[in-house]
Amino acid sequence: MSFFFRLTAPYRKGERNFERGRAAELRRDFKVAEKYFQGAADSFDEHIAKKEMTGQEVKTSHLVMAGICYTRLGRNHDALRVLDECIERRDIPDAFLHAGYATAKLGDAEKTITYWKRYPSWADQRIIANALNKQIKTIRSQEIPDLQTACQEISQAIFSQDHENAKAKLFRPFKPTNPPKRRY
């Protein structure tokens, strides 16, 4: 590590590792992605702790990124803590998606449905929205919901949607984000 790396703010390290983790997931390099998500989670832990000590508010974008990292690492209680705070501030599609995923992993079917039903229709993420609607219907129809299978289906939908977004970005190279309505 260089001297300058130690001077880099924790949230900046978290953002970089988060983006690297997402890129590694897109390449199906899940071991590398996990390493980057762990680095991002550690950096966001440090950043959030510093902000809480000084009484400052953490940016919503950092809460979403931290929540996604926590979800990817199986830290579902931590994910819900930051994603719920994020949801109170703004309607961010990824916050609803990953909060529902975290509650499904924790075994709470009703809360999972509540989060996934609130996934905004304006998000323009067709594959994810269709998968969420299908899983909501499936969970409601089962006497004992199989939430782990629902999580697997949603994970596959996220992966498929990421590939669709990457293809669309090829046709919109100068747009900053894809989808454009991500809001963080």
Domains contained in the chain, CATH given: 3-170 (1.25.40.10)
**Dist CA 144 CA 100 (whole Å):** 17
Q: Tens digit of pLDDT for each residue in 97-147?
A: 999 999 999 999 999 999 999 999 888 899 999 999 999 999 999 999 999
Read off the pLDDT of each residue in 176-181 and give the average, rounded to a whole number. Answer: 58
**Dist CA 134 CA 71 (whole Å):** 21
**What value does the mean pLDDT of the chain take?**
90
Total-model pTM: 0.89
Determine the pLDDT at residue 86.
94
- Which has the higher per-residue pLDDT, 46 or 166? 46
Q: Can you tell me whether residue 9 is helix, strand or coil?
A: coil
Q: In this prediction, what percent of the chain has a pLDDT beyond 70? A: 89
pLDDT at 9 over 70: yes
List, in sequence order, the alpha helices (H) in 74-92.
76-89
Q: Tens digit of pLDDT for each residue in 32-58?
A: 999 999 999 999 999 999 999 999 999
Angle 163-116-179 (CA atoms, 0-180°, nearest 5)?
35
Read off the pLDDT of each residue in 162-184 and give the average, rounded to a whole number. Answer: 69
**Dist CA 65 CA 61 (whole Å):** 6
